[in-house]
Each structure stands twice: as structure tokens, then as C-alpha cells.
Structure 1
Amino acid sequence: MRISIMELLVFLLTSLHLLATCLAMNIKTDKSSLLALKSHITSDPDEILSTNWSSLTSVCNWIGITCGSHHKRVTALNISEMGLTGSVPPQLGNLSFLVSFDLSFNNFHSKLPPEFSRLQRLRVIDLSYNNFTGEIPRFLGDFQDLQMFSIENNSFSGFTPLLSQT
């Protein structure tokens, strides 16, 4: 079976187009998840997110967001010490490449949504100095790569799940 150069070129271009579409859809999911977080924030006293997190710009340019250099997906969310008030929406569970999650020193409240359990790449979780409530989620003990976990100065109840030791 012989393949012409033209057929090979068409195949390669089609494959690249599909890959680019796939990557664009994934960053769109990340953007949608972060915009859901923004919509759950009821107070942004310094207007950091309200002026910077825009659907017109790339999430990789937003304050508090870090994207991976290879795949251009959100790998870190650090909106600590911004005086924000709000809750964590279930859509954050769609940030499938998230490695570091820091909401410390704000006024987040309510419970962590169960969808948060899908963030299996997490290595850092810092929820300290907020007003989170409810049971400490048991799924946190399932995060295999978790290296730092801080929930001090909240209103969680229950026991901290045993975190795997690697």
C-alpha cells in the first residue's frame, strides 16, 4: 500500500486540527470552571477578579492562575489574601490538571463540593483562614500525590482523613 505525499499531508493536517480542537475545548472547560468560581464570589473588595478575569482574555493571563507550559491547562489556582467572600462551585472539579489550590486568608464559606474529589493531581490544598463548614471530606484521603494540606481556622468538623504516605 502506497500513500501519496498529498494524502499524508491531509492526514497530518486533519490530525493537528483535531488535536488543536481538543486542546481548545479543554481550556474552554477550564475557563468555564473559573468563571463559575468568579460568579460564586459575592465580594471582591479590590475588584481583582471582577476586572481581570474576563471571558475575552486567556485564563493563562488571569491573576492567580498558572498554566502548564506544555499543554496550556490550568495547573495552579492561587487567590489567597484577596479579601474574597464566596463559595466553591462544583465546576472547579473540572480543572483536571490542577496541582495547587490556594484560597487561604479569604472569607470562603459553605462546604467543599463532592466534585472536588475529581482533582486527583492535587499536591497542594490550602484552605486555611476561611469559614468553610461541614465534615472534612473523606475523599481528601484518596489524593495520592498530596504533599501539603492546610485547613486550619475554619469551621470544619470531623477527622482529617489519613493521607497516603509515599
Structure 2
Amino acid sequence: MAAPETDILTDQSSLLSLKSSITHDPENTLANWSNSTFVCNWTGVTCAHIHHNYLRVEALNLSFMGLVGTIPPHLGNLSFLVSLSAKNNSFHGILPDELSRLSQLMYINFGSNDLTGKIPSWLRSLSKLAKLFLQDNRFSGSIPASIYNLTSLEIIKLSENQISGKFIIYTHLSFVLLYFSFTLYISVVA
């Protein structure tokens, strides 16, 4: 049987791109992120046997590490990622469009960083997304209409941003817990 087009080495390369985009790691937390340590043993990385028992990165947790940097487009190559958390750091810039390729994602937490731009419209492609935490950043503009395509969404937290506009709750969203703290009009559509 042929090896899959992407494999654990693709995941490793993507994570090394992330490490190179980090300009400050105050506790040297990512010191073991190197070619001399197996990627599944890296700090914050969880792997699982997926697709014909190939080992792939399934979760990335960089929360509360004091990291400073940007989120690189290469992170979109982690095709089996289910959970992505980088809460309480100092990541800045925008969330790259390439993250739209993370079709397995069920959980995203970029809360309490310094991210800017609009809430990404590419979120619509993350059909399995259940929990979205983007609070306490510097996002601006309105909530994209594409967010209504997220039928698996259970929790959305966008408080402490510069967002305004209207949020419509469609009844196909079985249970949505909303966290907002800005000018917002909420409508319920049956």
C-alpha cells in the first residue's frame, strides 16, 4: 500500500514553520520542537493513529505559554487536526486563509491574543466546528454571514473585540451558547 500524500513529516514541517514564526518563547517551551525529537513527543502536540494506522497530529495546545508571533499559513497542512488552542499568548496579525483546510477541526481557541482583521469568512468550511473562541483580540467589522453554515456549532465566544452588527440564530443550530460584549442585534429565525 502506498504512503498517503501527506504524512507525519508534513505535520512536523508545518509545526516547525509555526515555531519559526514565533519571535519570543519566554520559557523556552518549544525547545524540543526539533528534528532530533519525534513530533508526537513535542510540547503541546498530541498524535493519534488515523487512516490505515498512520500517526498524525490530532491536537495542538499552545495555551498559556507566553508566545509572541504570527500564525503561519503552513498550519493549514495539519489535515487531521481536531483541536487547536493557542489561548493567552501574544499572537498577532490575521488568521491565514489556509486554516480553512483544517476540515476535521472541532475546537478552535485563539482567545486572549492580539489577532486583528475580520472574523474569517473561511470558517464556513469547518463543518465539524463545535466550539469557537476568538474573544479578547482586536478583530473588527461584522460577523460574517458564513458563520451560519456551521451547523455543528455549540459555543461561540467573540467578546472583547471591535465587532458590531447582527447575529441571527437559526433553529438548525441545536444549542448555541453565545458570548458577546459589543453592540449587537440578535434575531431568531425559525
Alignment TM class, shorter chain as reference = 0.7 to 0.9
Distance 2:56 2:86 in 1: 19
Runs of 4+ in 1 over 3 A off after TM superposition: none
Distance 1:33 1:148 in 2: 23
Distance 2:137 2:72 in 1: 18
Q: Deviations over 1:49-91 (max 9, x none)?
A: 1x21111121100010000134210010001000000000010
**1:86 maps onto 2:69 in alignment:** yes
Counterpart code for 2:148: L
Alignment RMSD (CA, Å): 1.4
**3-state SS of 1:47 partner:** coil
Q: Which residue of 2 aligns with 1:124?
A: 107
Q: Deviations over 1:74-124 (max 9, x none)?
A: 010001000000000010010000000000000000001111111111000
Counterpart code for 1:26: D
Greater share of residues in strand: 2
Q: Which residue of 1 aligns with 2:13?
A: 32
Greater share of residues in helix: 1
Structure 1: 5+ residue stretches without partners: 1-14
Distance 2:35 2:57 in 1: 15
Task: Identify the range of structure 1 (137-146 vs 89-98) with the bigger mean alpha-carbon deviation.
Answer: 137-146
Counterpart code for 1:127: F
**1:41 maps onto 2:27 in alignment:** no
Which aligned pairs between 1:1-166 and structure 2 lie closer than 5 A?
15=1, 18-19=2-3, 22=4, 26-49=7-30, 51-69=31-49, 70-160=53-143, 161-166=147-152
Higher relative contact order (CA 8 A, sep 6+): 1
Structure 2: 5+ residue stretches without partners: 153-190
Report deviation, 1:148.
0.6
Amino-acid identity (%): 47
Aligned length: 146
Report deviation, 1:145.
0.6
Residue 108 of structure 2 contacts residue 132 of structure 2 at CA under 8 Å; is this kept in 1?
yes
Distance 1:148 1:28 in 2: 28
Residue 143 of structure 1 contacts residue 163 of structure 1 at CA under 8 Å; is this kept in 2?
no
**3-state SS of 1:108 partner:** strand
Distance 1:163 1:40 in 2: 31
Q: Give the TM-score of the pair, scaled to structure 1.
A: 0.83
Counterpart code for 2:23: T
Distance 1:109 1:97 in 2: 25
